[in-house]
Structures are given as C-alpha cells and as structure tokens.
Amino acid sequence: MHRSLAIFAGLILTGIGLSLSPSATPRAAETPSEIKGAFRLPEKNGWTFVHLQGTPHEIGFQNGYLLAPEIADALKVVQLEATHDSKKDWAFFRDAAQNMMWPHIEQEYRDELQGISDGATAHGVKIDLWDVVALNAAEEWSYYVKYYDKQHGIQTASLGVPEHCSAFVATGSYTKDGKAVIAHNNWTGYLDGERWTIIYDITPAMGKRMLMDGLPGVIHSADDFVTNSAGITITETTIGHFSGYDPAAIPEFVRARKAAQYSASIDDFARIMKDGNNGGYANTWLIADINRNEIGRLELGLTNVTLEKKTDGYFVGSNFPINESLIKEETDFDPKDMSQSATARHVRWEQLMAQNKGKIDVAAAQRFLADHYDTYEKKEDADERTLDGHIDLSPRGSGDWMPPYGIAGAVQNKAADAAMIGKISFTAAAGHACGKDFKAAKHLQAHPEFDWQKDLQRNMDAHPWTSFSVTN
C-alpha cells in the first residue's frame, strides 16, 4: 500500500478538510519533514486508518498532524466530560498532567506526547503539551479525582469508575482450530465513543510494530485492543467498583503503551504493567500469545495483582473482579448481586463458552459481541446487562454501572484469531455489533437531562465488520 509521498500528502490534506482542487498536489516544501512515510487513508466503514513510523517525536508529530481536527474535537469532549462530572475546571487536570503525571513519564513517551502537540500546532490546531497529556489520561481521571478529594477532605462529586467493556480470550479445546481467539467491545459514553474510531498502524524505531484502535491523539489504545509483531494481542475490561490510586507511580496510559510496544510474551506484558503500577484505570487484562498458544489474565489492582496462564481454556471479562482479596480490599463490588451488569454479563460469558466449546472462531466472537441475552431477566432484552450493552435502552435509567457523564453502551468492537494476529491484523465494527444505530436527536429528546451534551453529541451508526492490517 506504499505510494508516493505527494499522493499521500494529497490524501492527508483532503481528508482533514483543507481546500484542494481534485488535481492539486502540494509541493514537498508544504509538508513537514516529520510526515515522511506516514499517511492517513479515507474513512472506511466508520474507521480512519493512519500509519505512523519513526522516532518517538516523529510518531507523535504524525499523529498530531494527520488527525489535527479530530484531536481538537476529542479534546473538547474530554474537557466537557471531565469538568462536568468532577465539578473541577480543565486547569485542574492540566495541572495534574504537568505536576503529578509528567515526572513519572519516561523520555520516549515524553517525546511522543510533545510530538502530538507539535504536529497538531503545525496543522493549525493549537494545543499544548499539558492538553495532550490530560487527553491521554482521560481514563485515569476518575481514579485520581477520588484520591485527590479524599486527601483534601472534599466530598467527591458524582465521578464514579464506570464499567467498561466485554471481552474474552480462548484457546485449545475451546476454539475451532485449537488456536487463540480474542475479542472485545468498548463500553463508554456515546459522546466519546462516537470518536473512538481511529485504527493506528505504528512502526516505532524501537520495539514491536503495533496495530490498535484508539481515540485521536493518544499514544495508547485506551479501551484497549492491540496486536503486535511479536504475536501478542492485548485487551481488557475495567475492574468494577474499584478505588485506589498512587500519584507517585507511572500513569497507566504510559505502561499500557510500553507493554504493547515491548512485550514478546505474557510474562513480559505482566512485568511492564506491574512496574510502577499507579492503580489508574485498574483492569483485568486478557492476553493471547500465538507463539506459545498461550492465553493469560492479569487482574491488576493497586495492591492485589493476579496473573494466570493457560494453554487450554478461556478467560472472560465483564468488569467482574475475580480475586477475593481484591474484591474485599479494593472494591465495593457485590458478586452476589445477579441484577448488576458485570455479574449478569459474566454469567452470559460462561454460558457462551460452555455452549460453544470447540466451535469458537472469529465469526462466533462477532456473534458474542452482538449478544442481547439478559441472564437476570432470562430473555433477549438489549440493555445494560447484555454483552452488547445498550444502557440507553434500559428502563432502569442511571445506575452504578453507568458512566455519570451520560448514556453509554458498546460503541465499537474488535476480534482476531491466531492467523490474523500472525499477520498483525484484526476485524473491527464501529457502532453496535448488533446493527442498531444510535440517533443523537432522538436520545436527547428522550433524555433532556443530557442537554449539556447537545453541542457535541452526534449519531453513532452501526457499521459492518471490516478487516484491518498493517501496511507492507
């Protein structure tokens, strides 16, 4: 898929809305030297594919330059969600990014973060370094705010740790060919989920090549689904009802990116994620290693950490914590409450794994992510208790399972098998896997309490499954 830089420059500039005549191609002098080898392809079934390569600063610059308008838009969303929810202004988060997080970010990722700011600014979208760091830390702010407020004797606003995502990984006797299959859907607010549609192909000067989904302007996936050139694929679901944070440790978004970039085994991944663990965005990580035909689950609390590995079996994720000590010491989760989302989805995963033993492949994974069976009601009913989450369709309204910043659900999906992972590829579906569209106007009319989102809320249409792979 390599083409001349001039042709790609035309695609890049046209794709981000600058005015060019159909036959025009910009002179080489008009394109920053840092962009060499990078490109952006036209939108495909809701996704925007970008290829980034080079040194950390070059990769960041390319990210910022190619996705400048999308980054500006995503930053508005993150600012709105963070400030509305916490009752703190954006300066609070910028200050935390600079004074709490920055001292614990190693130089490689400092350079990439600075590059994002430089690239966006070069393309006319002026955002500074602390905006970029705060954007990358979006998933960690709810943990930090709870910690900060407790330390300062402040009654925490309604900022909770929302439950995100449904996922599984399986191998051996559970899959059709005996090799690994892994899949994940991202649960988040529709406001940011509508923008979670970038496919990054990253070839760094050091470490492994990566293919991942993500928000515009991030150095990590953030939701997370990443496959690398060492045959490792990584995903996760958040640990429900979790509390705990260490501001003197390494931000989660840095460790997640480093683990994706430098892991060649499940043990590598666990070691990197545990080193400097700050408790931010505490997740149950699911990992597939196709070289060993091994799968793993790393339940990464702040003080309770459990790693399990298998060459035959499965692990599932639905925000349902596993380790009894973690549940008792770091959450207020009630695993006996069968009506809550995490528990109901955990039961459904167990059912599907048993029912499909020996038959699981990518097609089955795609069906699982579109599943609407509510195990509490014991019937088909798209709601917050189904693997394909439709919190907007639940009659129960807001709850602990719902992000306090607005209606949410499963906003996009990814799946891969060992053959795909070996080629650094996966399939992805933007929007609900079941095919249901989310219409912003209809939603806001039914839920006027979310009127504060109206200037940024937009439709989230469902798109077909589409294959993506790295370029040659």
Q: Judge contact between 211 and 47, C-beta under 8 A.
A: no
**Per-domain residue ranges of the chain:** 46-460
Choices 3.40.30.10, 3.60.60.30, 3.50.30.60, 3.30.230.10: CATH for 46-460: 3.60.60.30
Angle at 140 between CA 139 and CA 141, to 5 degrees: 100
The DSSP secondary-structure symbol of 459 reads -
Q: Which of 361, 344, 160, 354 is nearest to 241 (CA)?
A: 160
What whole-number percentage of the chain has pLDDT above 70? 90
Distance CA 330, CA 159 (A): 17
Distance CA 70, CA 73 (A): 5
Q: Judge contact between 225 and 184, C-beta under 8 A.
A: yes
State the sign of the Cα–Cα–Cα–Cα dihedral 334, 338, 341, 345.
positive
Residue 5: which pLDDT band, with cuts at 50, 70 and 90?
very low
Distance CA 252, CA 282 (A): 8
Angle at 193 between CA 189 and CA 199, to 5 degrees: 155
* Average pLDDT rounded to a whole number, residues 319-330: 96
Q: Judge contact between 12 and 24, C-beta under 8 A.
A: no
pLDDT at 85: 79
Least confidently predicted of 14-23, 120-129, 268-277, 400-409: 14-23
Residue written as tokens 């989302």? 341
Distance CA 472, CA 460 (A): 31
Angle at 430 between CA 429 and CA 434, to 5 degrees: 65
Residue 332: which pLDDT band, with cuts at 50, 70 and 90?
very high
Q: Which of 279, 233, 232 is nearest to 414 (CA)?
A: 233
Q: Judge contact between 264 and 230, C-beta under 8 A.
A: yes
Helix 107-122, helix 56-66: angle, nearest 10: 30
- pLDDT for residue 9 is more than 60: no
DSSP H or E run through 287: strand 283-289
DSSP letters for 243-274: ----TTSB-HHHHHHHHHHH-SSHHHHHHHHH
pLDDT at 16: 36
DSSP letters for 74-135: HHHHHHHHHHHHHS--HHHHHHHIIIIIGGGS-HHHHHHHHHHHHHHHHTT----HHHHHHH
Tell me the per-residue pLDDT of 218-229, one tens digit each, with 9 for 90 and over: 999 999 999 999
- pLDDT for residue 251 is more than 80: yes
Residue 369: strand, helix, or coil: helix
DSSP letters for 66-90: HTHHHHHHHHHHHHHHHHHHHS--H
* Average pLDDT rounded to a whole number, residues 67-74: 98
pLDDT at 87: 87
Q: Which residues have a Cβ under 8 Å from the Cβ of 136 and sit 6 or more positions away?
A: 113, 217, 218, 219, 220, 222, 251, 253
* Average pLDDT rounded to a whole number, residues 424-444: 95
Q: How far is CA 64 from CA 126, 180, 220, 345, 433, in A?
A: 10, 34, 14, 37, 29
Provide the b/e sequence for 237-275 (b: ≥16 CB within 10 Å). bbbbbbbbbbbebbbbbbbbbbbbbbbbbbebbbebbee
- pLDDT for residue 26 is more than 70: no
Q: What are phi and psi of 153, to 5 degrees?
A: 65, 30
Q: Which residues have a Cβ under 8 Å from the Cβ of 124 and sit 6 or more positions away?
A: 68
- pLDDT for residue 385 is more than 90: yes
Residue 397: which pLDDT band, with cuts at 50, 70 and 90?
low
Q: How far is CA 15 from CA 2, 36, 179, 409, in A?
A: 17, 17, 39, 29
* Average pLDDT rounded to a whole number, residues 12-32: 41
Q: Which of 425, 367, 362 is nearest to 176 (CA)?
A: 362
> Model's pTM, two decimal places?
0.92
Report the DSSP pairing between strands 408-417 and 425-430.
Answer: antiparallel
Residue 170: strand, helix, or coil: strand
Question: How is residue 79 written in tokens?
Answer: 């600012």
Residue 392: which pLDDT band, with cuts at 50, 70 and 90?
confident
Question: How is residue 57 written in tokens?
Answer: 């600063």
Distance CA 78, CA 90 (A): 10
Distance CA 305, CA 320 (A): 15
Residue written as tokens 């990253």? 202
